[in-house]
Amino acid sequence: MPGRPHLTVRLAGLLAGLLLLSACGGAVEVDVPDLDAEDSAACDAFADELPDTLADESRVDIEPSDAPAAAYGDPPVVVTCGVGEPAGFGLGAQCEVVNDVPWYIPPEQYDDLSLDLVITSAWHEPRVQVELPAELRGNEGGVMAVLSPLVQEHLREAGDCDL
């Protein structure tokens, strides 16, 4: 059957193409916060300066593409500007200060290394939130170090954390 090898080669090529397409996921869906004009301008300026890589992961497409956010890698590290107050945050909340910017991480996430981290610049407005997958834990200090100068440049201080 002389035609059969060609069919096998074509089928193998088709399967390889389908595998390649399935490995390339679509855009990462991000939340679009409801912001007033001042906060929207601050978040847009912040998002415009986000780096091409974060936590050694390359930037990927987001949906909607004009959201004040960025995503990196797969599973994605997601950075969003303009989020609300983080769960568990309140008076006396502890913080991690990196490059003079205080960041809030919910206490339960410190102890359970299998949990994704949600890191928030809770003492700045508008707030920035980083969702860091559990697989990338160990990178949170570097992420905060990269983002802290942008937080200082574009967002206003809204209080001090209790060290």
Question: What backbone torsions phi and psi does residue 86 show, to the nearest 5 degrees?
Answer: -70, 150
Encode pLDDT of 47-64 as tens digits. 999 999 999 999 999 999
Q: What is the per-residue pLDDT for 163?
A: 61
Which residue type does 117 have? L
In the chain, what are the domain boundaries?
Answer: 26-157
Encode pLDDT of 106-145 as tens digits. 999 988 999 999 999 999 999 999 999 999 999 999 999 9
Determine the average pLDDT of the residues in 12-31. Answer: 56
Cα 13 from Cα 8, distance rounded (Å): 9
Buried b / exposed e across 65-86, counting CB within 10 Å, b at 16+? Answer: eebbbbbbbebbbbbbbbbeeb
- pTM of structure: 0.83
Determine the average pLDDT of the residues in 92-105. Answer: 92
Question: What backbone torsions phi and psi does residue 50 show, to the nearest 5 degrees?
Answer: -65, 145
List the structure tokens of 7. Answer: 């069919």
Cα 125 from Cα 3, distance rounded (Å): 67
